Amino acid sequence: MSDLRDRQLARLARPGSRPALVVVDVQRDFADPERLGAYGLTDATLANLDRTVTRIGDLVDAARTAEVPVVWVELGSDPARPWRSSNWLREGDFDAPMSPDEPCRIGTPGAEWYQMQPIKGELRVVKRGYSGFLGTDLDAQLRAAGFDWLTVVGLTSECCVYATAQDAAQLDWPVVVPQDTTAAYDHHVNAAALFQLGLNVAVLSDADEVVELWKKAAR
């Protein structure tokens, strides 16, 4: 471990520090193998995705045990408000109506959380695009709750996890990303995303180390 990383983690783990766990987009349209056929994922990729989702669920349980607040950030695609730039980027038609295949359409089974659920009292934020901070009150709610730093997990590493973690850092939040609690649909893409996260956005860690940081902060 480098001297810099020692200092970074020691700062987060100081007694009385207030961490929060931010879970991004572990929803059926992104995580349920029955809904991922169009992506053409290999068996190895699906197995890794399953391990990642399980690991995220374990970390959610650990956070609740440690009395670390869990914050849920979910995509809610609203047909009444199509994401026009996304339409253009994906289909070449800026003014097209939202496709019925758009992931996580509000009120559909694909928008449901997968293998984990928020519980009463936990903060939930619905986003329209990639970042949990864009167009939401997430930053204001985190600050009102008095948190000091964030652990960001979820799906997928190169898209919504990256965008949320990057915006958190730009909004002055120290961010930790456990590498075993995020994934992409291609291992090369995931590796590149983690490299970029570690380069400019977050301290990379793993779930076990994060739990130890939480325990030290609770002392």
Give the pLDDT of residue 175: 98
The rounded distance, in Å, linking the Cα atoms of 84 and 89 is 9
Rounded mean pLDDT of 82-89?
82
Residue-averaged pLDDT of the chain: 95
CB within 8 A of 13, min separation 6: which ones? 212, 213, 216, 217
The fold for domain 3-218 equals Rossmann fold (3.40.50)
In the DSSP assignment, the letter for residue 99 is: P
pLDDT for residue 182 is more than 60: yes
- 19-37 residue pLDDT tens: 999 999 999 999 999 999 9
pLDDT for residue 1 is more than 60: no
- CB of 202 closer than 8 Å to CB of 152: yes
Percent of the chain exceeding pLDDT 90 equals 86
The rounded distance, in Å, linking the Cα atoms of 97 and 12 is 45
What is the residue extent of each domain of the chain? Answer: 3-218
The H or E element that residue 201 is part of is: none
The rounded distance, in Å, linking the Cα atoms of 185 and 158 is 10
Give the pLDDT of residue 95: 83
DSSP reduced 3-state for 117: coil
Tokens 């449901």: give the residue: 112
The rounded distance, in Å, linking the Cα atoms of 144 and 76 is 24
